[in-house]
Amino acid sequence: MDAIALMLVSFLGYIVAYHTYGKFLAKKIFRLSSDRTVPSVAQEDGLDYIPTQKGIIFGHHYTSIAGTGPIVGPAIGIIWGWIPAMLWIFLGSIFMGAVHDFGSLVLSLRNKGESLSEFAARYVNSRLRYISFLIIFLELLIIIAIFGLIIAVIFKLFPESVFPVWCEIPIALGLGWIIYKRGKNVILPTMAAVTLMYMTVIIGHYLPLNLPDFGSLPATGVWTLILLAYAFIASTIPVNRLLQPRDYINAWQLFIAMGLLVIGVLGSGFSGKMEIVAPAYNLAATGAPPILPFLFITIACGAISGFHCVVSSGTTSKQLANEPDALFVGYGSMLMEAALATLVIIAVAAGIGMAYETADGSILTGSAAWQEHYATWAASEGLASKINAVVIGSANMMESILIPKALGIVVIGVFIASFAGTTLDSATRIQRYVITELFRDIKLVKINNRYVTTGIAVATAAGLAFTTGADGKGALTLWPLFGAVNQLLAALALLVISIYLKKNRQGFAFLVTAIPCLIILVFTVWALFLNQISFIENKQSLLIFLNGLVFLLSLWMVAEGAITILKLDPAKIEGG
């Protein structure tokens, strides 16, 4: 029953937060108005700027920001105890993450759909443009390179997921054609697309596909190349052809999976088969870094994540058809992501205790099962370990409602791989936008087209992926930087939003973002400092250089922001 109570109380809290704090932000702080012309209408081009129905853009935005973040972060962060992890997810999402996403979306809507680095220059100064560009470029570079590897790893762990994941592409193309070219109502095509999707999941269950090595190129390397090639194509065609309908289908796939998990929690809990077996607090976890500050950069998506601001100001702001829709899409999707992170916490805190198979084939239950998987930080830290914990716990809960465990594993494996795919798609397209804006600012007009800029995005990611060999795992070299870089980007977005609110004569309204900004900055700079000490001790030269650079950028960013906020002239700014 404790798992049921955790789920119901959290979900109720997210609903209440949306209808109270969210609507307060929309009406009193950002003052949303349908009278403002949005970029998708003013700059409609049939490629990137396309007015889109609220439900469809919600699905696209939600799956783009979610990815595997709310899965792997909570799955490792629970090592410090389920209460600290859950408190950070619940409070962080409501008062920080959703505010961050919502605010980033609104500012981009009021600045021609431009990215964070562009309106950072407008509201602060041109120096902050280049600081933010470096942070965003580094973050997206790691994401594009690492998510190709993540999908490759998932395909290796769950070969049953390969067929349905690739089948999403023709299904999404068909859905996009029916909705936009034939003008059909979205409900029936959506039902047909989702039904087809789950039919491919069943087929995949009986048709696992294992990609062999090609000479000296292992399967992970082959998949990485294939996925980067796909990302190039998907990011250069109109957004409503593939990216948008695919994300929309994935959103429904996730809603169904989440629904099954909710029913599984209720069924398992009321039957007495499941209880929370993870410790409430585990502050001295073997080999783990200190909970402060590392909990706050380990669990990002699900609480607050800098990647979300580049999605809000990258793809989503170019498709929103009406400014008031920003509340539902920006604030609402973050709370929905927090709901997913809550279910992940339950899966790894309680579901895993229902049955856990060890390396020697024996089955453990209860706290022994949890301790087996989370015995040490090193044991639970790897990508495969994180994913397995969630998949096992989720499949156990589904089994309690008569879904065969093997099929439940396929369902969860497919939706994790699909979400990773949407993140790869969106990150590549957003990197194109960011490079395009930089080239425009520095007057590189002749090579500033979508094929060149997407090629740069993909080529740099491929270079990183294959830096350490043919297995495509080069991005793992920089992965230790990602958590702090990601949260520094969130702090940067909150800083810019705070300055925007401050300059628009809204009294103390800027505190709704300034306080979260300060909290995130403290923990991020603290983590960067501790990481730098660790990298120096381990003589990791590349990480020492890059982490040191990011640390200096963070201090520079704080100085620029503080100087701007303390200026005496609060006159309104262009685009406000």
Lowest mean pLDDT among 294-298, 398-402, 509-513: 398-402
**Strand segments (E) across 273-401:** 356-357, 363-364
Lowest mean pLDDT among 204-208, 294-298, 346-350, 532-536: 204-208
356: β partners: 364
Indicate whether 125 pLDDT > 50: yes
pLDDT at residue 568 in the model:
42
357: β partners: 363
The model's confidence at residue 24, banded by pLDDT at 50, 70 and 90, is very high
Nearest CA-CA partner of 322 in 46, 57, 47: 57
CA pair distance 228, 429, nearest whole angstrom: 12
**Which helix (H) or strand (E) segment is 357 a member of?**
strand 356-357
Q: Coil, helix or strand for 73?
A: helix
- What 8-state DSSP symbol labels residue 289? P
- What 8-state DSSP symbol labels residue 491? H
What is the bridge-based pairing of β-strands 363-364 and 356-357? antiparallel
Supply 181's token pair: 């070219």
The string of DSSP codes covering 146-173 is HHHHHHHHHHHH-GGGHHHHHHHHHHHH
Q: What is the mean pLDDT of the segment spanning 160-174?
A: 92
- C-alpha to C-alpha distances, 412 to 64, 239, 524, nearest whole angstrom: 17, 26, 32
CA pair distance 208, 230, nearest whole angstrom: 21
What is the overall mean pLDDT for the chain?
Answer: 89
In one-letter notation, the amino acid at residue 282 is N
The model's confidence at residue 384, banded by pLDDT at 50, 70 and 90, is low
CA pair distance 49, 87, nearest whole angstrom: 38
Indicate whether 127 pLDDT > 60: yes
- Cα dihedral across residues 407, 411, 417, 418: positive or negative: positive
383: β partners: none
Indicate whether 505 pLDDT > 80: no
Do 33 and 323 contact (CB within 8 A), yes or no? yes
Q: Of 49-58, 98-107, 376-385, 502-511, which one has max mean pLDDT?
A: 98-107
Q: What distance lies between CA 87 and its chain's CA centroid? A: 19
Torsion angles phi and psi, residue 363, rounded to 5 = -110, 125
pLDDT at residue 464 in the model:
93
Q: What is the mean pLDDT of the segment spanning 337-354?
A: 94
pLDDT at residue 545 in the model:
94
Using only C-alpha atoms, the chain has a radius of gyration, in whole angstroms, of: 22
Q: What is the mean pLDDT of the segment spanning 220-232?
A: 92
Give Cβ neighbours of residue 511 (< 8 Å, ≥ 6 apart).
Answer: none
pLDDT in tens, 454-467: 999 999 999 999 99
pLDDT at residue 359 in the model:
76
**Strand segments (E) across 72-113:** none
Indicate whether 11 pLDDT > 80: yes
pLDDT at residue 71 in the model:
86
Q: What is the mean pLDDT of the segment spanning 499-524?
A: 90
Maximum distance among all Cα pairs of the chain, rounded to whole angstroms: 69
- What 8-state DSSP symbol labels residue 28? I
Q: Coil, helix or strand for 361?
A: coil
Indicate whether 555 pLDDT > 80: yes
Between helix 162-180 and helix 405-441 the angle, nearest 10°, is 60
The model's confidence at residue 130, banded by pLDDT at 50, 70 and 90, is confident
**What is the distance between the terminal CA atoms of the chain, rounded to a whole angstrom?**
49
Torsion angles phi and psi, residue 217, rounded to 5 = -100, 110
Supply 501's token pair: 């609110």
- What 8-state DSSP symbol labels residue 186? S
Do 113 and 506 contact (CB within 8 A), yes or no? no
pLDDT at residue 1 in the model:
52
CA pair distance 339, 18, nearest whole angstrom: 13
Which one is predicted more confidently, 399 or 568? Answer: 399
- Domain spans of the chain? 2-44+61-565
pLDDT at residue 147 in the model:
84
Q: What is the mean pLDDT of the segment spanning 521-543?
A: 95
- What 8-state DSSP symbol labels residue 26? I
pLDDT at residue 253 in the model:
84
Q: What is the mean pLDDT of the segment spanning 34-52?
A: 94
Which one is predicted more confidently, 93 or 146? Answer: 93
The model's confidence at residue 382, banded by pLDDT at 50, 70 and 90, is low
**Strand segments (E) across 226-276:** none
Q: What angle do CA 83, 483, 165 make, to 5 degrees?
A: 90
pLDDT at residue 575 in the model:
43
CA pair distance 260, 254, nearest whole angstrom: 10
Torsion angles phi and psi, residue 356, rounded to 5 = -140, 120
The model's confidence at residue 574, banded by pLDDT at 50, 70 and 90, is very low
Indicate whether 576 pLDDT > 70: no
Q: Coil, helix or strand for 52?
A: strand
pLDDT in tens, 285-304: 888 999 999 999 999 999 99
Place of tokens 């509201």: 123
Do 165 and 414 contact (CB within 8 A), yes or no? yes
CA pair distance 276, 54, nearest whole angstrom: 37
- Can you name the CATH fold of 2-44+61-565? Amino acid/polyamine transporter I (1.20.1740)
Q: What distance lies between CA 562 and its chain's CA centroid? A: 29
363: β partners: 357
Supply 220's token pair: 């992970």
Q: Of 15-24, 311-320, 349-358, 441-450, which one has max mean pLDDT?
A: 15-24
Q: Of 109-118, 191-200, 317-326, 495-504, which one has max mean pLDDT?
A: 317-326
Do 277 and 350 contact (CB within 8 A), yes or no? yes
Give Cβ neighbours of residue 405 (< 8 Å, ≥ 6 apart).
Answer: 395, 396, 398, 399
Lowest mean pLDDT among 241-250, 375-384, 495-504, 544-553: 375-384
**Which helix (H) or strand (E) segment is 363 a member of?**
strand 363-364
Share of the chain above pLDDT 90, in %: 54
Do 512 and 552 contact (CB within 8 A), yes or no? no
On the 0-12 / 13-18 / 19+ scale of CB atoms within 10 A, 59 is buried
pLDDT in tens, 48-86: 999 998 988 998 899 889 877 888 899 999 999 999 999
Alpha helices in 32-125 (DSSP H): 39-42, 54-66, 69-77, 82-92, 98-109, 116-123
Q: Of 92-101, 126-135, 475-484, which one has max mean pLDDT?
A: 92-101
The model's confidence at residue 376, banded by pLDDT at 50, 70 and 90, is confident
pLDDT at residue 184 in the model:
66
Nearest CA-CA partner of 519 in 119, 95, 134, 104: 95
CA pair distance 410, 211, nearest whole angstrom: 17
